[in-house]
Amino acid sequence: MNKTTNHLEGPVPCGEYDIPSVLDLLNLVMRILRQVPGQPPTLPTIGFDWSHVYTHANRNNIRIIKDRGNPVSSVAIWPHTIKTSRGDLSIGGINCFATHPDYRGRGLGESVLLDAHSKMLSNGHHIALLGTGIPDYYRKYGWEYAASSNSFEFDRGNIGLLPDPSGLDIHEDWRTYCTQITDIHNKKPLGAYRTVDFFNMISVRKFDNIFVCQSSNEILAYACVRNNSILEHGGDPTTTAALFRHIFSRLDDPNTPTSLSPTKGGRSTITMKIETPHTTSGITEILDNIGIPAQIDYVGMILILDPQGLINALDLQDEFKLCKTENGWHISHRDQSLNLTQCELTKLFFGPECWTHFAPNLLPINLFQWVGDKV
């Protein structure tokens, strides 16, 4: 509910001339005040990092509280559509939730966050998604860690188990092939839909290098690299695995002395991490079959905004009956039923934890988000 108290106005949508001031606030809170003593200055990069979020076209999804016209608390929503194992979902990605230090302790953050919840629901989003290091703060409002991803790690001891890339035409001229790469991305069974312009934009902001494997004029596979990690990839799985091996050879320096003591928290030679969906097919299946150990992690914190709309979008309306209760939700499937909190409902639908006796052939739904689509 909007309110004005002692010059405070909001929550309200970002005004036509508010975006520069919002970015000033976010760079102060998320960059400058997080400066580590003794380290190089932190650059105010919010506008560059999230240029697709802080646009005039999206300003109604930037929710702010102002003091005398100056934004002092803000949270932004990035609307997009994502493919899951059972169908498409509308998602509101949460970006840069921040309050000026001089205005904390007044409930402004809670007010602007709940306003964002209402805005996402009115937008028609089924779920919301965010990344955070303070999960218990968000759990108070119904958010919960859910969905899962894999992270595989390669070094000199196991990289040779991947297919030999010899003879493949591999290069870094990805800009010429943006349309083909975007088509490959949009054909993946999991992840957000993209336009060519969007892929081109996030590529220069999110990745250090993009490698492509080509045959004639056709792109067979691609992989996006940042800080010795492959954060996105797509195409023929076997070719993609060979591309991974090629990339490792480019990142690894064979002249690095292996007898040197590693720096604190590191090692003398590189390891290369690869993020994949948590599935039993495609490149994940290839790496699992080789026996590469995988670390499983959550995709992020999810808030189910519209549980019945979610069930309908996943074409499960004939399978589940849902009823709101005082403490959460009552959900039934055939002769089984559960009483769940809002957070437990998220786990039920997206896992990876599961209620093994309740609709195990239908739930959890496999949901994954590539790094380029996270905000």
Q: pLDDT for 230-275, tens place per residue?
A: 999 999 999 999 999 999 999 998 877 776 655 555 566 789 999 9
Express the helix, strand and coil content of the chain in percent, nearest 5 each.
30, 30, 40
Residues in the chain: 375
Residues 304-326: pLDDT tens digits? 999 999 999 999 999 999 999 99
Q: Is the pLDDT of residue 5 over 60?
A: no
Residue 269 has a pLDDT of: 77
User: What six digits make up the tokens of 203?
Assistant: 């590529």
What per-residue confidence (pLDDT) applies to 268? 67
Mean pLDDT, rounded, for 111-120? 98
| Model confidence at 174: pLDDT above 80 | yes
What pLDDT is attached to residue 130? Answer: 97
Mean pLDDT, the chain, rounded, equals: 94
Question: Using one digit for the tens of pLDDT, what is the confidence trace for 337-375?
Answer: 999 999 999 999 999 998 999 999 999 999 999 999 999
What are residue 333's DSSP bridge partners?
336
Q: Are 77 and 129 in contact (CB under 8 A)?
A: no
What number of helices (H) and strands (E) belong to the chain? 10, 17
pLDDT tens digits, 54-74: 999 999 999 999 999 999 999
189: confidence class by pLDDT, cuts 50, 70, 90: very high
- Encoded tokens for 320: 């589940």
Residue 198 in this model has a pLDDT that exceeds 50:
yes
pLDDT at 256: 76
Q: How far apart are CA 75 and CA 117, in angstroms?
A: 10
- Identity of the amino acid at 98: A
Confidence (pLDDT) at 3: 46
Average pLDDT over residues 209-238: 97
| C-alpha span between 73 and 63 (Å, rounded) | 8
Residues forming beta bridges with residue 70, ordered by sequence position: 67
> What is the tens place of the pLDDT at every residue in 76-102?
999 999 999 999 999 999 999 999 999
Instruction: Assess whether pLDDT exceeds 80 at residue 49.
Output: yes
